[in-house]
Structure 1
Amino acid sequence: LGTDFVCVDTALPNRIVGEGLRAGQVPGLEGYTEVRSEVPYADKSRVDFLLTGGGPDLYLEVKSANFCRTAPLVEFPDSKTLRGARHMADLAQMVALGHRAMVFYLITRTDCTRAGIARDIDPAYGAAFDAARAAGVEVLAMDCNITPQGITLGEVRSVNP
């Protein structure tokens, strides 16, 4: 039997993604020269990361995904999230203004290799996700390498909307 790990520390996903962005380890985002975190944007929001220099500005929101009902599928959200739905609308607004925008699902458990939207848990978030995608918001999921020694970005994984 193998050992699976789950990261439940809500502060770590942004650190992991930030380190990966700055090290050029996120496929498709390697060309940006500046990565800033917690940048105010939209109406009373802060984007997790703003990437500039190397293409259109990219507004990136990180979502930690560790809720699993049946492996290998991890789902987001694990509860209702008005804030999460607002973030999707904010990202869509950035696309409408001519920028790139992306939601990044970080799979923070080692027994899951796919991400999905838990529409039954939060139908409003599901609708906001659909509207954002229709508006041009990009979606990316990556898993993590989790060991007792640390956590690093892993591989790109599929997202089942």
Structure 2
Amino acid sequence: MEYPALVPGLLRRRYKRFLADVELADGSLVVAHCPNTGSMRAVNVPGCRVWLSPSDNPKRKLDWTWELIELPQPDGTAALASVQTGRANAIVEEALRNGVVEELHGYTELRREVKVAGGRLDFRLDRANAPSAFVEVKQVTLKESDGHGYFPDAVSERGRRHLESLAALADQGLRAVLLFCVAHTGIPDVAPAAHLDSAYAHTLRAVAECGVEVLAYGCQVECVNGIPQAIRLARHLPVSLTRQANIARTID
């Protein structure tokens, strides 16, 4: 998925869920739309470099959208993480159509936002003489201090309901797939965040035992002269359904 021309800045603060103050290179302060309603745990880091996409749409209230953040890693490098949750499905759809997700290669039809019992799922894939495959996409950007990736980054009742919908489809003999789109280039693997949402972790383990396939693929951000140009699903990542986060407890 190609980006529009991105502009760098420094994150000053995120507030009211949908707003972020960003300082541009000329010292001016702009308010950018934050297209992420989640907690943004570990990717809301003031002082880090961020990348904004501009808009010339006169109907928009804000001229900027926060797309990416650069996060320092323990080895001295920087990882790029997408905070634009709305792009995850487009990234995955491109990968499905290009055969990047090996486990879902060979389907000839793709439908978006399909109705199922209990709600909607992101994709339905079909091909001749094979059961349909239903795919729910979840974007992962939470990298905890133990170096591993986790989902969700806060309690997600909606996410748990999606798991139940997938399990119902698996019971009918259909393929049901949870696909973690890991939109953080520093995350090496994924596990359920039992330390943040124990109910989700328990449900994920249960539906996996009932036939729901759990996959994770990592994103690659393509840059030219240090400027992000595109983001694509690029590599298979391992999933552990039993790993517990090994992080220091904090008191809120």
| Number of the residue aligned with 1:128 | 203
For residue 59 of structure 1, what is the amino acid of its counterpart?
F
| Number of the residue aligned with 2:21 | none
3-state SS in 2 of match to 1:15: helix
Deviation of 1:29 (Å): 1.1
| Number of the residue aligned with 2:221 | 146
Q: Contact 2:159–2:200 (CA<8 Å) still a contact in 1?
A: yes
For residue 233 of structure 2, what is the amino acid of its counterpart?
L
- TM-score if structure 1 supplies the norm length? 0.95
Identity across aligned pairs (percent)? 36
Cα distance in 2, alignment partners of residues 72 and 51 from structure 1 = 34
| Number of the residue aligned with 1:158 | 238
CA RMSD of aligned residues (A): 1.1
| Number of the residue aligned with 2:109 | 34
Deviation of 1:137 (Å): 0.2
Deviation of 1:105 (Å): 0.6
Are residues 1:21 and 2:65 paired? no
Q: Contact 1:141–1:157 (CA<8 Å) still a contact in 2?
A: yes
Per-residue Cα deviation, 1:127-147 (whole angstroms, up to 9, x for no partner): 110111011000100000014
- TM-score if structure 2 supplies the norm length? 0.62
Q: Contact 1:71–1:111 (CA<8 Å) still a contact in 2?
A: no
Q: Which has the higher contact order (CA 8 A, sep 6+)?
A: 1
Deviation of 1:111 (Å): 0.8
For residue 98 of structure 1, what is the amino acid of its counterpart?
G
For residue 153 of structure 1, what is the amino acid of its counterpart?
L
| Number of the residue aligned with 2:120 | 46
Q: How many residues align?
A: 160
Are residues 1:111 and 2:186 paired? yes
3-state SS in 2 of match to 1:110: coil
Deviation of 1:71 (Å): 5.8
3-state SS in 1 of match to 2:187: coil
Q: Contact 2:149–2:191 (CA<8 Å) still a contact in 1?
A: yes
Deviation of 1:70 (Å): 2.6
Cα distance in 1, alignment partners of residues 216 and 82 from structure 2 = 16
Deviation of 1:73 (Å): 1.2
Cα distance in 2, alignment partners of residues 159 and 72 from structure 1 = 14
Cα distance in 2, alignment partners of residues 122 and 113 from structure 1 = 21
Q: Contact 1:32–1:52 (CA<8 Å) still a contact in 2?
A: yes
Q: Contact 1:109–1:146 (CA<8 Å) still a contact in 2?
A: no
Q: What are structure 1's unaligned runs of at least 5 residues?
A: none
Q: What are structure 2's unaligned runs of at least 5 residues?
A: 1-75, 223-227, 242-252
Deviation of 1:160 (Å): 1.2
Deviation of 1:39 (Å): 0.7
Q: Contact 2:100–2:234 (CA<8 Å) still a contact in 1?
A: no
- Greater Rg over alpha carbons, structure: 2
3-state SS in 2 of match to 1:159: coil
For residue 157 of structure 1, what is the amino acid of its counterpart?
L
For residue 42 of structure 1, what is the amino acid of its counterpart?
A
